[in-house]
């Protein structure tokens, strides 16, 4: 009987110690959020920078002469 209680105590202690193992920075899955590499050209600054040239290009390319 004393052996059984010591085994139980050791098991509880072991489980308690093991629960502290593992990486603390667990990555949780966020659905619908882009997971790939960041594209610098996707930013608002980049889009604003190319807006003018693209607008001018469209005006000259597609209007009927």
Instruction: Provide the 8-state DSSP code for 64.
Output: -
Query: Of 5 and 63, which has the nearer Cβ to other proteins?
Result: 63
How many Cα atoms occupy the beta-carbon half-sphere of 18 within 13 Å?
A: 6
User: Among residue numbers 19 through 48, which ones bind other proteins (CB under 8 A)?
Assistant: 31-44, 46-48
Query: CB of 26: closest distance to other proteins in angstroms?
Result: 18
Instruction: Tell me how many residues contact other proteins (CB under 8 A).
Output: 29
CA distances from 50 to 27, 39, 62 (A): 35, 15, 18
**Residues in the site for other proteins, rule: CB under 8 A?**
31-44, 46-48, 50-51, 53-55, 57-59, 61-64
């Amino acid at each position: 009987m004393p052996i059984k209680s010591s085994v139980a105590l050791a098991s509880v202690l072991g489980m308690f110690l093991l629960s502290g193992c593992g990486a603390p920075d667990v990555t949780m899955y966020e659905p619908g959020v882009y997971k790939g590499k960041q594209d610098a050209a996707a930013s608002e600054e980049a889009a604003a920078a190319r807006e003018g040239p693209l607008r001018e290009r469209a005006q000259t390319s597609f209007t009927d002469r």
